[in-house]
A and B are shown apart, each in its own frame.
Chain A
Amino acid sequence: AQSVAQPEDQVNVAEGNPLTVKCTYSVSGNPYLFWYVQYPNRGLQFLLKYITGDNLVKGSYGFEAEFNKSQTSFHLKKPSALVSDSALYFCAVSPELDSWGKLQFGAGTQVVVTP
């Protein structure tokens, strides 16, 4: 079985400061990892994914994530947060290489960026 854990319900950061949203995973095989963001009154939006290759993955809106196999983590990062980054962030894992849309989502982390 596979699962993801987002240990923080909420992350508070001042605008301009670095933002990190934590995610750890548990899978029986190769991990296929994703980050999605949910803005208020908007549908979930894809940010980035890790399938294979470089451990540092770059995505939309200046976000990146670092895959760490030894720590089974896939933390989302942004060097300088914006107020507009305030949203609900979900980490997700796919159990199968040929079914990347069938995702196991974490519970989500609310990011609040203050001016």
Chain B
Amino acid sequence: GAGVSQTPSNKVTEKGKYVELRCDPISGHTALYWYRQSLGQGPEFLIYFQGTGAADDSGLPNDRFFAVRPEGSVSTLKIQRTERGDSAMYLCASMASGGNTGELFFGEGSRLTVL
């Protein structure tokens, strides 16, 4: 597609439920990033994929968070046993040519609300 697409744009769930957030990067972009942005704060790095593999998952807050990118394109961020503190905007971004061009292309985000 023309840009990074994220679905759903809004997700409301109950505490303890399982959630999946999807990211479709710009075609041909090999690097894909997930960030989390809480209200009034800047985005925080979660995980980075180079192709199919997670090159750096140091930002994942705990083992309830997991992400996959099985075919090197679409990625899914998975959150188990959601907690109210997981409520945030989840941003996906992609970058061309192996991740060293310096410009991230962001999607509009998926807003997660855990009740």
Contact = CB atoms under 8 A, between A and B. Distances in A.
Contacts, number: 67
B22 to A, nearest CB: 15
Nearest to A88: B42
Nearest to B47: A102
Nearest to B99: A101
A51 B102 CA distance: 9
Contacts of A41: 108
Interface string A4-39: 000000000000000000000000000010101000
A46 B103 CA distance: 6
A34 B102 contact: yes
B112 interface: no
A: interface residue count bin? 20 to 34
B: interface residue count bin? 20 to 34
Interface of B: 3-4, 31, 33, 40-45, 48, 55-56, 91, 93, 95, 99-109
Given A100-B100, A101-B33, 19 more contacts: A32-B102, A36-B104, A44-B43, A44-B104, A46-B102, A46-B105, A49-B102, A51-B102, A92-B42, A98-B100, A101-B31, A102-B33, A102-B56, A103-B43, A103-B45, A104-B45, A105-B42, A105-B43, A106-B42
